[in-house]
Amino acid sequence: MSKKALGLLSVGAVLLILAAASGCSDNTAATFQSPQGVAWTSDGRVTPGEYENQLVMSEFFTLNWNSDGKYIYVAMQGTSPYSPGYVALGFLPDDWTAEMKKTNSDMIIGFVAGGVAYATDAMSIDKLTPHPADDRNDVEQLSGSVTGNTTIIEFCRKLDTGDAKDQKLEIGLNKIMWAVGFAATDSGAHPAGGRGYAEIQIK
């Protein structure tokens, strides 16, 4: 094999390694950095400067997020008044109205039990029905922690997962719903003021 061919193979190998090490994947470390120069790490903690965007929904729930145009990187931080519980984020369809409530919402429900983080990737097909899990879980690099009554769940997912049961997230404004629960499971009651709707900007 010629030196030129070997050189091309070497360059190709380097490109493959870089491709495998970038973005958000369960098999590799994400390389995203916030504008503050802090690398995103899914470790169940919100490090100062790690997230470019933060929205305090209520005294019970704060959402932190970044995006690199392909993935969204998220930290859900929820405080339940009585005991640590679940935190949930729903991505709503473009034509969503308040009358629809949970209809066609793509939900990620996370909690920590026994020191292990769990997340259900689900879809609600009606206003108030239970939220059956999707056939495929598109949550990546999941982590979580509990401090007192506060639960933090970190993860990333593709803006467009290719899953028909997931909402495709767009660059620009996206409608969301959020919730905090009493129990460390993926279902249960909310405290008063422990759920709501909002919009987030994805850059």
The contacts of residue 89 (CB under 8 Å, 6+ apart) are 63, 74, 76, 107, 108, 176, 177, 178
Range of the domain at 172: 34-202
Report pLDDT for 83.
79
Number of C-beta neighbours around residue 81 at 10 A: 14
> Are residues 73 and 154 part of one domain?
yes
Which CATH number is 131's domain given?
2.60.40.1210
Percentage with pLDDT > 70 across the chain: 68
Q: Would the pTM of this model clear 0.75, i.e. be above it?
A: yes
Report pLDDT for 141.
95
> Are residues 40 and 11 part of one domain?
no
DSSP state for residue 88 in the 8-state scheme: E
Report pLDDT for 34.
86
> Are residues 124 and 85 part of one domain?
yes
> Are residues 62 and 11 part of one domain?
no
Report pLDDT for 7.
38
Q: CB–CB of 199/174 below 8 Å?
A: yes
> Are residues 100 and 6 part of one domain?
no
> Are residues 160 and 91 part of one domain?
yes
Q: CB–CB of 65/51 below 8 Å?
A: yes
Report pLDDT for 84.
86
Weakly modelled stretches of the chain, pLDDT under 50: 1-22, 27-29, 100, 127
